[in-house]
Amino acid sequence: MEIALAGTGVPLEAARRAAREGRLAAAAGWARWTLETDAPPEPGSFARALAWRLLTRGTLMPPAPELEEGLARFGPRAADAASALHRLQAAAVLAAPAGLPSRLESDLHRAKLFSCEEARWIEESALRDLGELLGLLRRIYPETADEPREPLFVSWLGTNKAGWRNAAIGVGHGGQVFDLRVASPAFNDDLALEALARRLRLAPSLRPGQAEGAAALLSGRDLVMSLATGGGKSLAFQLAALLSSGTALVVAPLRALLRDQARRLAEIGVDRVGLLCGDDPESTAKGLAELAAGRLILCLAAPERLDCAAFREALRGAAEGPGVPFAVVDEFHCAARRGHDWRPAYRALGARLRDWAGSSGRAPALAALSGSTSPGALAEAERVLGLDRPARVASGGGRGNLAFRVRRDRSPDRLERLRALLTRTLPEGRFGPGIVFCPRVDGPLGAAAAAEALAWSEGIDAAAYTGRPPAGADPAAWAAARRRAADDFLAGRRGLLCATRAFGLGVDRADVHFTVHLGLPASLEEFFQQAGRAGRDGRPAECWLLLQALSERRAARWAAAPIERLRAELDALRPGERDDVARAYALHLAAFPGEETERRDADLVLSLLGDVAEPGPAEVSLPGQDEDALARALVLLEDAGVLSLEGRRGAAWLARRRGGWTPSAAREAAFARVERDYRAVEPGRRASLAELVELALAKDAGAALSARLGRDPVSGPGLRACPRRA
Residue 80 has pLDDT above 80, yes or no: yes
Inside any domain, residue 7: no
* Three-class SS state of 680: helix
51 within some domain: yes
Among 394, 416, 447, the domain boundary falls at: 394
Asked if 99 and 36 sit in the same domain, the reply is yes
In a shared domain, residues 355 and 496:
no
Kindly state whether residues 201 and 340 are assigned to the same domain.
yes
Give the count of alpha carbons within 13 A of 558, CB side only.
27
SS3 181: coil
- Per-residue confidence at 118, pLDDT binned at 50, 70, 90? very high
Q: Is the peptide bond before 322 cis (omega within 30 degrees of 0)?
A: no
Q: How far is CA 676 from CA 179, 332, 565, 639, 673, in A?
A: 50, 22, 19, 12, 5
- Does residue 691 form part of some domain? no
Among 394, 410, 436, the domain boundary falls at: 394
Give the distance from CA 680 to its chain's centroid: 30
For 239, the domain range is 190-394
Chosen domain end from 110, 135, 170: 170
Q: Is 300 left (phi over 0), alpha (psi -120 to 50) or beta?
A: beta
pLDDT at 663 over 60: yes
The 10s digit of each residue's pLDDT in 364-380 is 899 988 766 666 666 76
Residue in 292, 344, 22, 4 with CA at minimum distance from that of residue 175: 4
**Strands of 514-518's sheet in order across:** 402-409, 541-548, 514-518, 434-437, 496-499, 462-465
Give long-range contacts, CB 8 A cutoff, 24+ apart: 550-556.
550/410, 550/577, 550/579, 550/581, 551/579, 552/697, 554/581, 555/581, 555/693, 555/694, 555/697, 556/694
pTM (two decimals): 0.75
The answer to whether residues 300 and 275 touch, using CB atoms and an 8 Å cutoff, is yes
Q: Please, which pLDDT band fits residue 299 given cuts at 50, 70 and 90?
A: very high
Could you tell me the CA-to-CA distances from 709 to 164, 372, 725 in Å, in that order? 64, 11, 21
As a whole number, mean pLDDT of residues 517-523 equals 89
Distance CA 422, CA 428 (A): 7
User: CA separation (Å) from 244 to 16, 214, 674?
Assistant: 35, 10, 43
CATH of the domain at 311: 3.40.50.300
Instruction: Decide: 260 and 507 in contact? Cβ < 8 Å.
Output: yes
Q: What is the pLDDT of residue 491?
A: 80
Residue at 563 is within a domain:
no
Mean pLDDT in residue range 489-493: 84
Looking at the structure, tell me whether residues 245 and 146 fall in a common domain.
no
Q: Model confidence at 458, in pLDDT bands (50, 70, 90)?
A: confident
CA–CA gap between residue 705 and residue 126 (Å, rounded):
52
Least confidently predicted of 92-96, 208-212, 605-609: 92-96
Average pLDDT, the chain: 80
Task: Tell me whether residue 94 is in a domain.
Answer: yes
In a domain, 71, yes or no: yes
613-632 pLDDT tens trace: 999 999 988 877 777 788 88
Per-residue model confidence as pLDDT tens digits over 192-219: 999 999 999 998 888 888 999 999 999 8
278: pLDDT strictly greater than 80: no
Does residue 302 sit in the same domain as residue 416? no
Q: Are residues 370 and 419 in the same domain?
A: no
Q: Is pLDDT above 60 for 513?
A: yes
Domain co-membership, 100 together with 148: yes
Half-sphere exposure of 241 (CA within 13 A, CB side): 28
What is the reported pLDDT for 547? Answer: 93
Averaged over 175-194, what is the pLDDT?
Answer: 61
Same domain, 357 and 408: no
Q: Helix, strand, or coil here: 615? A: coil
Q: Looking at the domain assignment, is residue 584 inside a domain?
A: no
Do 460 and 542 sit in the same domain of this protein? yes
Q: How many domains does the chain have?
A: 4
Shared domain for 660 and 702, answered yes or no, is no
Burial of residue 71 (number of CB atoms within 10 Å: 0-12, 13-18, 19+): buried
590 is a domain residue: no
Q: Are residues 384 and 506 in the same domain?
A: no
Dihedral sign from CA coordinates of 62, 68, 70, 72: positive
Q: How confident is the model over 569-587, as a mean pLDDT?
A: 92
Query: Do 622 and 652 lie in a common domain?
Result: yes
